[in-house]
Structures are given as C-alpha cells and as structure tokens.
Amino acid sequence: MNLFTYQKSLEYKKALQVNSKQFDKVDRRTEKNGYISYLYRKLSDEIGDESLQITANRVFSCSRFYQIDYYVDQKVKDVQRTYFCHNRFCDNCQNAYAVQREFKYTPVLDQLSKLFHLYHIVFTVPNCYSDQLLITLDQMQNSFGYINRYLNGNLKIKGIDFLKYGYSGCIRALEITKSKKGDFHPHFHCLFLFRNDLSKFPEWKKYNVNSYSFDNPDVVLHRKKSYGTPQRYFSDFEILLQKIWRLKFDGIKVTRDNLEGIKEGYSVIVDPAKGRYHQVFKYATKGLFKKTDGDLNYRDFVNLHFALQNRRIIQGYGVFFHCDFEEINLDTDKYYNRLVAVLRSNEYPIPEIEKLDQILTAQLHAKDITYISRQSMRRIMEDNNDER
C-alpha cells in the first residue's frame, strides 16, 4: 500500500469509527426489551397465540448480535449488520425508523418549503383509558380523512371556501403519550402544505380564547405557566378546524348549523413549521415505557398492542400519498466502500458474530481494535433527540 492510500485509509477509519457511546445508546434503548418480551409471552399464553412467542423472541434479541468482518492483521472490525425486531414498542427500532425518516425527508421538505407554505398542525381528542384506544384511534383516523377531503375540495360545507388556501397534502403522524393520571393522550402531529400563505387571510388573526388556551399539553409554552392567563390565542381558522374535528370525531354531521351550534371543538393548533419537522418524524410510542414509573402495565400493553396492530402510524396525503415512512435502509457510502477496498487489498476478513455485551467489553479493554461501519448504520445508532 502506498503512503497516500495508507494515510487516506487512516482518515476514513477515523471517520467511520463506531465508538462505544453509539453501542451504549443501543444498549440503553434495548434495555426495556426484556420486559416487553415478557409482556408478549404473557399475552401469548393468555390468548393462545403461538406467533406472539416468536415476537417475544425477536424483541428480546433486537440488536444483540452483530455480523462482523474481522480484519485481524489490521485490527479492524467492520460491523456489517445487526438484527432489528421492527416492533412497535421497541425503542431501538422505532428510533432507527425516526432517524431514517428525518434524514430522508428533511431535504425534501426544505425544497418544498421554497414552493409551498408549511404548517405544523396538532389534532387532539380528549384523553382516554387504554381500553378505549382502539376505537379512539379508528375515529381519529376516520375524522382526519374528512379534514383532508374538506381542504382538498372533495367535500364541501355550504358557505365555507377551503380551496382558496391551496392545500396540497400533508404528513400525519400519530403520537400517544400517557398522563400522570394513567390515561392516554393520542394526538396527530402533522405537516400541512399550502400553496398560499395563511397569514395573508383575515381568519389567521389569533384573538380567540377558549379552554385550549390554558394548560394545553400540545401548546408549546412561550412563557411561564400562570394560572388563569391564556397561553395561546386561536385564529378563526383554527376554531373552524377545531369544530369540524370535533363534530366528525363525535359522529355528528358537519353542517353550517351544527358548526354554529357547538360552543367549542377539540384542540387543533396551527403554526408555521419554520423548518422544524422533527415532531412529525419521531415515533408514536416514544416515552411510553419509562424505567421510572414501573413501566407500562400488562393491561395497557395489551390494549396498545391491539390498538396499534396493522395501523399506519405515519400516513401521507395528497403529494405525500405514496411515501413509505417506515423503512430501515442500510445503504453504503463512498468512503466506506473505499476503506473496505483498502482493507481487503491487504487481507480477507474473518466473518464472525459478536454479542453487544462482548463488543462493549472489547471496547473497554481491547482498545487497539477499531470498530467501523457505514454511515447509515452509525446514524441509526444515534438518538433521534427532541433537541434537534
């Protein structure tokens, strides 16, 4: 190997290194999987569904084993792949999806924001207990479909013109959080695309106060909470969406009279997205399993399992209709390919399987060995943090 190639390879090796922090993060994200697989086993026994035993095993072994190419002389271990369980409750897999989604769609949205106006809209319904989640999510999904159809002009309400906003599509993401009281707070975080700037319309002016102006968990607090002070004013546009959303959710016909007849809808909040798309790309069950509060109990887990089964967590409408938001795609990258070529020009690697705890120990003690991996693998080992 010439000096130039050798130096380049050192540079790439450094850039492609998977450090112990990244493995630690995987370890932390999968630490609840033992408990989750116990819940699946219990459910399997209760309802006699053998396939849930397989799910339990999959969740238990998520990202525990790594296929590695070991370049012995060069002291490099190349992490080829790991095994993902793809389970809805697995923080590790859901994090991997979220990271990939954000990475893939952020540049697309940045481009779209040059042509369209992007808004972050949160749709909420009253909290419910876990046994009501399945029916609540069905109703939310159904009602949301109607909102989409009103905005795109496929459905009309007498005297209301939605077409003037130039609605072009949206991404709808479900998030479920659990309150301290023990009930659940299902809501949609959405990104809406409009051809027109909504702030140019008089109904954008925010002056209405209603019960969602106070202590609303979906309102980002710009100032300190103080009792009795509105934290948020709503525009007529928001009030209209709130009322349609409520009527549809409650199964009442959406007519001009019924809209005027109800005092208050359910919470809908509209804000310019301002390049912040993160809320839409994180995952539905983030934070549901907490180490601190004794974890999700078995009943809640069972109800959530059936409520989320076969349900699309992220759905595109309009221009986003054909987007697949749930994929883990390990592509290779240029530098990785170059480094592997250099490594292989010196020796053939020994393929081996290593357990995560072996890797963590090796990284502590056998410091002369460098673990490397392609960019996409390293990326999904990182956390999809809220701070971004």
Q: What angle do CA 102, 277, 376 make, to 5 degrees?
A: 10
Beta carbon nearer to Zn ion, 243 or 282: 282
Q: Contact 386/115 with Cβ under 8 angstroms?
A: no
What is the H or E stretch that residue 381 is in?
helix 375-381
Our finding on whether 340 is near Zn ion (CB under 5 A) is no
Nearest approach in angstroms of CB 7 to Zn ion is 39
Half-sphere exposure of 111 (CA within 13 A, CB side): 5
- Applying CB under 5 A, the span of 20-28, 55-63, 110-118, 151-159 interacting with Zn ion comes to 55-63
Phi/psi zone of residue 153: left (φ > 0), alpha (ψ -120 to 50 degrees), beta? left
Our finding on whether 90 is near Zn ion (CB under 5 A) is yes
Beta bridge partners of 175: 187
What's the one-letter identity of residue 298? Y
Our finding on whether 56 is near Zn ion (CB under 5 A) is no
Question: Which residues are CB-neighbours of 311 under 8 A, at least 6 positions away?
Answer: 137, 141, 174
> How far is the C-alpha of 369 from the C-alpha of 208, rounded, in Å?
63
- Applying CB under 5 A, the span of 9-17, 90-98, 274-282, 285-293 interacting with Zn ion comes to 90-98
What's the one-letter identity of residue 27? D
Q: Report which DSSP code applies to 316.
A: E
> How far is the C-alpha of 46 from the C-alpha of 69, rounded, in Å?
42
Beta carbon nearer to Zn ion, 90 or 247: 90
Beta carbon nearer to Zn ion, 55 or 370: 55
- Applying CB under 5 A, the span of 92-100, 132-140, 180-188, 203-211 interacting with Zn ion comes to 92-100
Beta carbon nearer to Zn ion, 93 or 173: 93
Beta carbon nearer to Zn ion, 62 or 147: 62
Q: Among 52, 85, 191, 284, indicate the residue that binds Zn ion (CB under 5 A).
A: 85
Our finding on whether 171 is near Zn ion (CB under 5 A) is no
- Applying CB under 5 A, the span of 59-67, 140-148, 225-233, 330-338 interacting with Zn ion comes to 59-67
Q: Among 36, 93, 140, 174, indicate the residue that binds Zn ion (CB under 5 A).
A: 93
Number of residues counted as binding Zn ion (CB under 5 A): 5
Our finding on whether 307 is near Zn ion (CB under 5 A) is no
Alpha helix ranges (H) inside the chain: 3-15, 20-29, 33-47, 51-60, 91-115, 133-151, 236-249, 256-261, 278-281, 298-308, 334-346, 356-365, 375-381
**What phi, psi does 375 have (nearest 5°)?**
-60, -45
- Applying CB under 5 A, the span of 54-62, 75-83, 97-105, 131-139 interacting with Zn ion comes to 54-62
Nearest approach in angstroms of CB 69 to Zn ion is 23
Nearest approach in angstroms of CB 93 to Zn ion is 3
Our finding on whether 26 is near Zn ion (CB under 5 A) is no
Question: Which residues are CB-neighbours of 351 under 8 A, at least 6 positions away?
Answer: 67, 68, 69, 70
Our finding on whether 92 is near Zn ion (CB under 5 A) is yes
Our finding on whether 94 is near Zn ion (CB under 5 A) is no
User: Which residue ranges make up the site for Zn ion (CB under 5 A)?
Assistant: 62, 85, 90, 92-93
